[in-house]
């Protein structure tokens, strides 16, 4: 299941960037970029960069001399990100967060936006981030809070369970929203070598012009799509999700709560 949960292929990268980034990721990318700018790093490693939502914020906000190595395990996502950002100070590389191809103590800062949930061995991935940090460096990352604190995702998950009652798709609960216990995350960070850890719960509001946008975003622009297509009709599932969102949030412009945990970690 872990491999399927990380399968961002086909049209998923384009739909992810078109719908998911403005719907969910932009406010948290802004938050990470703000925190990073205050630290004035000269060399940054980004893990699980996806389509480059954080990368592009950093390019706009940091000096042109700042070196950014943006990585992702998924080649399709990385290629889409590369097409969207060709800044001279960004080096796009395919890399596994659990086995980073970089020397010890080679970055001032490591950042990861909503990627830690996908790492099969979290402690090992955290250990790799710790290894490549210079003394005094910091690892900044965020993860989604649980489904109960993320209203659109919860509504979609519940709707799809009614469509596929015998085998409901659980990608959203299992992976994006399945690594939200702060105590567990802190234990994994300690196992990875981090001794100074702070975290903050950060709530925001997600807005969409209509229920069609989050329905399409979740059902077609994430690996949830793979689970749906294995069970039945993707368009029907998207329609069921859209109707559920309309019932919960109304017609026309809708909004719902989103919430994440933001971690700042030092050695």
d(CA 73, CA 95): 5
Predicted local distance difference test score (pLDDT) of residue 234:
97
Tell me if 150 sits within 8 A of 260, measured CB to CB: no
Q: Read off the pLDDT of residues 143-189 as tens digits, 9 standing for 90 and up.
A: 999 999 999 999 999 999 999 999 999 999 999 999 999 999 999 99
Buried b / exposed e along 123-138 (16+ C-beta atoms within 10 A): bbbbbbbbbbbbeebb
Task: Output the domain CATH number for residue 69.
Answer: 3.40.50.150
Geometric angle at alpha carbon 257, from 14 and 156, rounded to 5°: 55
Tell me if 30 sits within 8 A of 202, measured CB to CB: no
Q: Read off the pLDDT of residues 14-63 as tens digits, 9 standing for 90 and up.
A: 998 999 999 999 999 999 999 999 999 999 999 999 999 999 999 999 99
d(CA 37, CA 140): 12
- Residue 232, pLDDT > 70, answer yes
User: Edge-to-edge strand order for the sheet containing 43-47?
Assistant: 90-94, 67-72, 43-47, 107-113, 133-144, 254-266, 196-208
d(CA 162, CA 168): 8
Q: Which two tokens stand for residue 192?
A: 């990875």
pLDDT over 90, % of the chain: 94
d(CA 47, CA 232): 33
Name the residue with tokens 């395919």: 94
Predicted local distance difference test score (pLDDT) of residue 143:
98
Query: Residue 223 sits in which domain range?
Result: 2-266
Check residue 42 and report its DSSP letter.
S
Number of independent structural domains in the chain:
1
What are the respective helix, strand and coil percentages of the chain, to the nearest 5?
Answer: 50, 25, 30
Q: Read off the pLDDT of residues 244-265 as tens digits, 9 standing for 90 and up.
A: 999 999 999 999 999 999 999 9
- Residue 127, pLDDT > 80, answer yes
Q: Which two tokens stand for residue 110?
A: 């490591």
Q: Read off the pLDDT of residues 50-99 as tens digits, 9 standing for 90 and up.
A: 999 999 999 999 999 999 999 999 999 999 999 999 999 999 999 999 99
């Amino acid at each position: 299941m872990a491999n399927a949960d990380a399968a961002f292929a086909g049209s998923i990268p384009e739909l992810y960037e078109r719908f998911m980034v403005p719907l969910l990721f932009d406010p948290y990318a802004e938050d990470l970029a703000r925190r990073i700018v205050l630290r004035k790093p000269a060399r940054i490693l980004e893990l699980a960069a996806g389509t480059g939502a954080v990368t592009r914020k950093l390019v706009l906000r940091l000096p042109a001399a700042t070196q950014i190595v943006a990585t992702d395990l998924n080649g399709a996502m990385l290629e889409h990100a590369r097409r969207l950002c060709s800044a001279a100070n960004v080096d796009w590389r395919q890399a596994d967060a659990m086995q980073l191809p970089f020397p010890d103590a080679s970055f001032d800062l490591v950042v990861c936006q909503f990627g830690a949930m996908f790492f099969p061995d979290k402690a090992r991935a955290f250990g790799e981030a710790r290894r490549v940090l210079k003394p005094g460096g910091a690892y900044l990352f965020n993860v989604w809070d649980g489904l109960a604190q993320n209203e659109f995702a919860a509504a979609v998950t519940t709707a799809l369970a009614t469509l596929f009652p015998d085998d409901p798709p659980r990608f959203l609960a299992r992976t994006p929203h399945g690594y939200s216990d702060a105590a567990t995350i802190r234990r994994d960070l300690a196992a990875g070598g981090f001794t100074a850890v702070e975290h903050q719960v950060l709530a925001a509001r997600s807005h969409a012009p209509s229920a069609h946008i989050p329905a399409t975003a979740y059902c077609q622009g994430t690996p949830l799509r793979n689970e749906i297509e294995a069970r039945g009709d993707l368009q029907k599932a998207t329609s069921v999700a859209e109707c559920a969102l309309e019932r919960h949030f109304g017609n026309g412009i809708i909004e719902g709560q989103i919430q994440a945990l933001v971690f700042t970690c030092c050695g």
